[in-house]
Chains A and B, each alone.
Chain A
Amino acid sequence: MEKKIGCYICKGCGIGDNLDVGALESVARKDQKIPVVRNHEFLCGSEGLELIRKDMESEGVNALVIAGCSPRAKVDEFRLGAALMDRVNLREQVLWVQPVAEGDDTAEEDRQMAAVDYLAMGCVKVKKMDAPIPFEDPGFSKDILVVGGGVAGLTAAKNIADTGYKVVLVEKSDDLGGMLSRMHKVSPTKPPYKDPEENPIAGLIAAVKGNGAIKIHTGATIKKTAGAPGLFDITIVKGGKESTERVGAIVVATGFGLYDAGKLPAQLGHGSSPDVITSLQFEEMAKAGKIVRPSDGQPAKRVAFSLCAGQRSTEHLEYCSGACCVYSLKQALYVKEQYADASTYLIYQEVRTPGQMEDFYRKVQDEGGVFIKGDVTQVAKGAGGGLSVEVNDKLLRGKEKLEVDLLVLAVGMTPSLDTVDPNKASPVGAGEFDYTKSVLNLDYRQGPSLPELKWGFPDSHFICFPYETRRTGIYVAGPARRPMGIAASVSDATGAALKAIQVVESVARGAAVHPRAGDLSYPSFRKEGCTQCKRCTEECPFGAINEDDKGNPLFNPTRCRRCGTCMGACPQKIISFANYSVDMIGSMLKEVEVPEEDEEKPRILIFACENDAYPAMDQMAQNRAKISPYVRVIPLRCMGSMNLVWVADAMSSGYDGVLLMGCRHGDQYQCHNVRGSALAEIRLSKVSETLDRLQLESARVRMVEVNIMDADKLPEVINGFVDDIMEFDPNPYKAF
C-alpha cells in the first residue's frame, strides 16, 4: 500500500499564539514534501479529529505526523487507526521549556528553530517507517505448561483451566500437593484474620484432578524446552519414556527448598537434642496429631520458636525468608489449641507480618504468646527432660534462660531453580544446588536456565513486571520466584496464570506482551551483511536470538520484547524493525539544521529512554522549567537500542555534544529491558575511539541515569551539560 502522509499542526495550548505555524506548515509542505498539511485550533477536539478522519477517508492519508502535545498526552484521542503515526512534541519540548520574554527576538527565533527541527524530524521519522506486519505461525498453541504441583502450580493450573485454556501440568514427585500437603493448617486468609484455616490442598488437588482441561504428568521431569512463546516444544520424561507437548507459555512453580538445619551454628542446638526440630518437622508433628517431645513423648506445652534460624545472616541465608514469622505465629497457636496452659515463646529479630497478618500477630499476643527480641545463644539439657534455652534478650539487655519442651527452628527457604553459572559460588554453601540439572532445560543459545539473581532466584523487573523472567513467555510464581508464604503464592500463581494467558493471546495476534504491549514490530536482518560477530545473540537480554551453524542469528520473534538491543549492538547496522531502524534515527538527527560556527549556537542531541527519561522530561515541562534552546531530543525505545553510529553521525553532522539519558543499571537496575542501559554504557565506553578518530573531546558525549521521578533534577542535568559543552570550541565538523 502506498504511504500517504498527512501532517497536522495543532494551534491549541498556546502553540498558535507563540509559534509561527504558517512557517511550520511550509516546512512540512515544501521541505518535507508532505502532501497533506493542515492546522487546527484544537486538534484533539471532535472537530479537529474529524478533520484528520476525513482526510484518511477521502484523501487516502494513512500515515500521520501530529504536531502538538507530548505523545504521552491525548493518547486515546489520537488513536485513529492509522498504520503509522508520530507525535511531534511541540508543547512539552518547545513551548513549555523555552519561555520567551516580550521583545526577545533571539529567544523567539531559537524557539521557532526548535519547532522546525522537531517537525522535520517527525516527518522524516514517518517517511522512514513501514507498517509492521504481525508475525504469524500456523503452529501457535494456546495451551499452557505448569511446572510444579504444589499450591502455586495447582492454583495456576486451576485458574488457567477455569479461564478456558488447556493445561499441561508436570510434577516431579509421584503425588500432587507439594510442601503444603505436609502441613497442618494455613495462616488466615479471610477477615478477621485471627485463626488458622483448614489446609486447602486436598480440595485443590481434587479440583485439578477432576478438571478435564488439565493433563497431569506426575513423576515426570522436563528434558528439553525448545522453541518460543506460542511454539514451545516440551519434552517430558516419565518413567524413562519421552513424550512431547506443544504449549504457548510456561508457568514455573517449583516451590522452595529448606535450608539445611545441619549447617546452622551449634548455638541453635540442632542435632544436640531430638527436642530441637525444624518448622517443617513441627508442622508434620501437628498434622499427625499430638505435639510432644520427640525425646520422651511427653506433652510439649512449653515451646520456643527461633525465627530467623540462619536467615538474614551473612554466613547462611542473607535474605529474609518472608514467611517464617507468620507460619511461626500459626504454629504457636497449634500449641495453644492442644494445651490451654501452653507457654509459647517467639524469639525474633523483627516480627515481619505484612498486611492483615498484623491482626494475626495481635491474636497470638492476645493468646499469651511471648515475644522476645534476640537470638538463641545456647541450648542445653533442662530440668525434667526439657531444654534450657539461653537467649540474648535485646529488650531486657541481657542473657535470659527459658525452660522449654521444644525448640522449633524456623529455617529459611532456598531457591528451587537451577543456577546459570556453575562456577558461581553458591550463596548458601557449596553443594546446595544441583548445578547439573535445570528445571526447564531450555534449548536456548544462551543456556539451559533462566537468568538468576545473586541468591538463585530468577531475575526479573520485579516492580514493573512481577512473575516475569528474562525468558519471554516463562513466568515464575510462588517461592520459586522469591520466598513467600501460602497466601502470597496463591495470588502469585493467579497473576502468573493471567500473564501466561496474556502471552498466548498476544502471540496469536503477533503482538509483544511487555513492556511494549501490543507492539507488532519485530526485528529482521540483512543476512548478506552479517559478519557472524554474535553480538546480537550475546546481548539480547531475553535470549530471543539463536544461531545457525554458521553463527548467523536466528530470530525468534515471539521471544522478542522489541527493545532493539540487537539493533543497537549490531556493528554492521543490519538489524532493524519495520518502524524503528538505525537509518530512521540517523536520518532524524541529520534533519536538524545545525547553525554555522560563527552563529555561536551549539546543537546538543539528547537520546532519551522513552520509558523513564522521556516522561520525566514531560513532567519537567509541566513544571515549566527553562531548558537551553540548543538541545534536540530523540526518544529511543530503550538505551539498549542506541547504536554507536548515531553518536558518530551526530558528531560528523556538527552537533557539539550528545547526552544519553537511560535508566539506572547494575544490581538495582530500573531498565525495563533489564540490560539495555547497562549495555549502552558499555558501548559508550568505546566511543572515545570514535571521537579520537574525529579528533574530538570524549567529554562531548555523556550518559546519565534518569529515573521517572527525576523531573526536578533534569533542568540542571541538561543545562549543566550544555554549559559544559559551551566550554569547548564549536565542533569543527559544522563546516562540512
Chain B
Amino acid sequence: MAYDLSFAREVYKNSEMGHWIKMCMQCGVCAGSCPLGPHWEHSPRQLFQMVRAGKKEEVLKSSSMWMCTSCYNCIVRCPRHLPITHIVHGLARYAMEQGMANPQQPTHRFASKVFWENIVATGRVGEAGLTMKLYFLDGLGAGIRMGLEMKDVALGMVKTGRLNPIPFRGKIKGYAGFQAMLQKAAAIESKHKEAKA
C-alpha cells in the first residue's frame, strides 16, 4: 500500500534533518538547481515525495543521495528554506545505518572507507595517497590506466604547488585533540541511537 506513513514517520524521527521533508512543497527548484541533476536517479524533490509515499526500499537503495557534492545550490534556492543538502546526506547516512546502501555505489565505496581512513590516520587529507587509493580501487590495470590518463593534470598541479607528490607522513598539530573530537562525536551518536531505540 502506498502512502503508508510509517516509513515517513521513521525518517522524520531518525534521519538527520529528516523532519524537514514534510515541509517540501514539490516545486522542483532543487532538481533544477542541482549541477549534477541529470545524473541523479531521483531528484531531491522526488526522493522526498517517495519518503512520504512510504517507498522505503526504493529510497534507501537509491544512489541519488550519494550524488550530492554539497554545493548548496538547492539550499540557497529552496523557497521553503529546507536544508536539502543536509537532508540528503542524512538519508545517505540513514541508508548506511539500515544496511540498505548499495555497497557498489562509487561515492559510498570511496567516502565511507578510503576517504575516512585517509583523513583519520593523519588528521588531514593526503592528496597523493588518496588519489592513488581511488585510482586503484578497481584493480591494478584500471589504476595504471587512470594514472596515465590523468598524468598531465597531476604534473600541472605539482608545478603550481597544488599537489604535494610526497605523501604526508606525519600527524597534524593537535592530533590528540582531533582524536578526542572523533571519540566525542561517536559517543554522542551512539547516545542518540539509544535514545531513538
Which residues on A are within 8 Å of B, measured CB to CB? 343, 345, 351, 361-362, 365-366, 368, 370-373, 393, 395-396, 400-403
Pick 23 A–B contacts, CB within 8 A, sort by A.
A345-B3, A351-B25, A361-B25, A362-B23, A365-B22, A365-B25, A366-B22, A368-B5, A368-B22, A370-B52, A371-B25, A372-B3, A393-B2, A395-B26, A396-B46, A396-B49, A396-B53, A400-B53, A401-B1, A401-B2, A402-B1, A402-B2, A403-B4
Task: Known A-B contacts: A362-B23, A362-B80, A372-B3. Give 15 more (CB < 8 A).
Answer: A343-B5, A365-B23, A366-B22, A368-B9, A368-B12, A371-B25, A371-B26, A393-B2, A395-B26, A395-B45, A395-B46, A395-B49, A396-B49, A396-B50, A402-B3
A147 → B minimal CB distance (Å): 40
Distance in angstroms from B159 CB to nearest chain A CB is 50
Binary contact track B49-63/A, C-beta < 8 Å → 1, others 0 = 110110000000000
Q: Smallest CB-CB separation from A342: which chain B residue?
A: B5
Tell me which residues across on chain B come within 8 A of A365, comparing CB atoms: 22-23, 25
Chain B residues near A401 (CB, 8 Å)?
A: 1-2
Write the chain A residue with the least CB distance to B5. Answer: A343
Q: Which residues of A contact B45 (CB under 8 A)?
A: 395
- Residue from B1, B2, B4, B26 in contact with A373 in the complex, judged by beta carbons closer than 8 Å: B26
- Cα A351 to Cα B24 with chains together (Å): 13
Report how far A393 CA is from B3 CA in the complex, Å.
11
Complex interface: chain A residues within 8 A of B25 (CB): 351, 361, 365, 371
Do the beta carbons of A403 and B22 come within 8 Å of each other?
Answer: no
Q: Name the residue on B nearest A364 (C-beta).
A: B22
Set A366, A395, A396: member contacting B23, Cβ < 8 A: A366
> Of the candidates A361, A370, A371, which one forms a contact with B5 in the assembled complex, judged by CB atoms under 8 Å apart?
A370
Which residue of A368, A370, A403 contacts B1 across the interface (Cβ within 8 Å)?
A: A403
Bound: A395/B42 CA distance, A: 11
Q: Which residues of A contact B50 (CB under 8 A)?
A: 396
Contact indicator A400/B3 (Cβ below 8 Å) = yes
Q: Give the chain B neighbours of A370 by CB distance below 8 A.
A: 3, 5, 8, 52
- Alpha-carbon distance A366/B1, docked complex (angstroms): 23
Q: Which residues of A contact B1 (CB under 8 A)?
A: 401-403
What residues of B have a CB within 8 angstroms of the CB of A400 in the complex?
2-3, 53
User: For residue B55, which residue of chain A has the nearest CB?
Assistant: A396
Output the residue of A366, A368, A396, A403 with the most chain B CB within 10 A: A396
Which residues on B sit within 8 Å (CB–CB) of A362?
A: 23, 80
Chain B residues within 8 Å of chain A by Cβ, number: 19
Grouping DSSP codes into helix (H, G, I), strand (E, B) and loop, the A interface class, with mixed when no group exceeds half, is strand
Instruction: Considering the complex, give the chain A residue whose CB is closest to the CB of B23.
Output: A365
Shortest distance between the CB of B109 and any CB in chain A (Å): 29
Chain B, 1-33, contact with A by CB distance < 8 Å: what is the 0/1 string?
111110011001000000000110110000000
By a CB distance below 8 angstroms, the chain A residues around B23 are 362, 365-366
* Bound: A371/B52 CA distance, A: 9
Q: Which residues in A have their C-beta under 8 angstroms from that of B4?
A: 403
CA distance A362 to B20 in the complex (A): 11
Q: In chain B, what residue has the closest Cβ to A361?
A: B25
Q: Which residues of A lie under 8 Å from residue B12 when comparing CB positions?
A: 368
A365 to B80, CA, bound (A): 11
Q: Which residue of B lies closest to A399 (CB)?
A: B2
Give residues 33-76 of B contacting A (CB, 8 Å).
Answer: 45-46, 49-50, 52-53
Residues of B within 8 A of A371 (CB): 25-26
- Return the chain A residue nearest B80 by Cβ: A362
Cα(A371)–Cα(B27), bound, Å: 12
Cα–Cα distance between A362 and B22 once the two chains are bound (Å): 9
Chain B residues with CB under 8 Å of A345's CB are: 3
User: Nearest-CB distance from A401 to chain B (Å)?
Assistant: 6
C-alpha gap A361/B26 in the complex (Å): 13
Shortest CB-to-CB span from A580 to chain B, Å, is: 53
Q: Which residues of B contact A402 (CB under 8 A)?
A: 1-3
Nearest Cβ distance between residue A633 and chain B, in whole angstroms? 48
Kindly list chain B residues whose C-beta atoms are within 8 Å of the C-beta of A361: 25
Complex Cα distance, B25 from A351, in Å, reads 9
| A306 CB, min distance to chain B CBs, angstroms | 14
Contact with A along B83-97 (1 / 0, CB 8 A): 000000000000000
Which 3 pairs, one residue from A and one from B, show the smallest C-beta to C-beta distance?
A: A400-B2, A402-B3, A395-B49
Bound: A402/B22 CA distance, A: 18
Q: How far is the CA of A74 from the CA of B25 in the complex (A)?
A: 50
For B52, list chain A residues within 8 Å (CB).
370
Distance, CA A371 to CA B12, complexed state (A): 16
**Residue of B with least CB distance to A368:** B22
- Closest-by-CB residue of B relative to A389 is B3
With A and B bound together, what is the CA distance between A449 and B47 in angstroms?
Answer: 54
Complex contacts, B53 vs chain A, CB 8 Å: 393, 396, 400
Per the bound structure, the CA–CA distance linking A366 and B25 in Å amounts to 11
Shortest Cβ distance from residue B29 to the other chain A in the assembled complex, whole angstroms: 14
Query: When chains A and B are docked, how far (Å) is the Cα of A362 from the Cα of B79?
Result: 12
For B49, the closest partner residue in chain A by CB is A395
Cβ distance B95 to chain A, nearest Cβ, rounded Å: 19
- Interchain CA distance A262-B3 in the complex, whole Å: 28
Give A395 to B45 CA distance when docked, in angstroms.
Answer: 9
Which residues on the A side are within 8 Å of B26 (C-beta)?
Answer: 371, 373, 395
A395 and B46 alpha carbons, distance in the complex (Å): 7
- Return A78 CB to nearest CB of chain B, in Å: 49
Interface residues of B in 87-119 (CB under 8 A from A): none
Bound complex: CA of A396 vs CA of B26, how far in Å?
11
A167 to B105 Cα, complex, angstroms: 75
Chain A contacts for B5, CB-based, 8 A? 343, 368, 370
Closest chain A residue to B50, Cβ basis: A396
A352–B181 alpha-carbon span in the complex (Å):
48
In the bound complex, what is the Cα–Cα distance between A365 and B27 (angstroms)? 14
A373 and B25 alpha carbons, distance in the complex (Å): 10
- The interface residues of chain A lying within 8 Å CB-to-CB of B8 are 368, 370
CA A366 to CA B22, docked complex, whole Å: 6
Alpha-carbon distance A368/B10, docked complex (angstroms): 12
Query: Closest residue to A400 on the B side, CB-wise?
Result: B2
Report the bound CA distance from A395 to B49 in whole Å: 8
Q: How close is A356's CB to chain B, nearest CB, in angstroms?
A: 16
CA distance A502 to B25 in the complex (A): 44
CA–CA, A706 and B155, complex, Å? 68
Q: Tell me the bound Cα distance from A402 to B4 in angstroms.
A: 8
Residue of A nearest to B4 (CB): A403
Nearest-neighbour CB distance to chain B for A369, whole angstroms, equals 8
Q: How far is the CA of A358 from the CA of B58 in the complex (A)?
A: 31
Chain B residues whose CB sits within 8 angstroms of the CB of A366 once the complex forms: 22-23
Q: What is the CA–CA distance of A273 and B26 in the complex, to the nearest angstrom? A: 32
- Nearest Cβ on chain B to A177's Cβ, whole angstroms: 35
Distance between Cα atoms of A246 and B8 in the complex (Å): 64
Interface set, chain B 145-163, CB cutoff 8 A to A: none
**CB of B88 to closest CB in A, whole Å:** 18
Residue of B nearest to A345 (CB): B3
CA distance A370 to B22 in the complex (A): 8
Please, how many angstroms separate the alpha-carbon atoms of A345 and B22 in the complex?
Answer: 12
Cα A401 to Cα B52 with chains together (Å):
13
B17 nearest CB across to chain A (Å)? 14
CB of A445, distance to nearest CB on chain B (Å): 53
How far does the alpha carbon of A345 sit from the alpha carbon of B26 in the complex, in Å?
A: 15
A372 / chain B contacts, CB cutoff of 8 Å: 3
Q: A383: nearest residue on chain B (CB-CB)?
A: B1
Give CA–CA (A118, B8) in the complex, Å. 75
Distance in Å: Cβ of B34 to nearest Cβ of chain A: 17
Q: A401–B1 Cα gap in the complex (Å)?
A: 6
In whole angstroms, how far apart are the Cα atoms of A345 and B2 in the complex?
Answer: 12
Q: How far is the CA of A275 from the CA of B176 in the complex (A)?
A: 66
Q: How far is the CB of A526 from chain B (nearest CB, A)?
A: 65
Shortest distance between the CB of B78 and any CB in chain A (Å): 13
Smallest beta-carbon distance A352→chain B, Å? 12
> How far, in Å, is B19 (CB) from chain A's closest CB?
9
How distant is A399 from chain B, measured CB to nearest CB, in Å? 9
Residue of B nearest to A373 (CB): B26
How distant is the Cα of A372 from the Cα of B26 in the complex, in angstroms? 10
Cβ–Cβ < 8 Å partners of B3 in chain A: 343, 345, 370, 372, 400, 402
CB distance from B83 to the nearest CB of A (A): 15
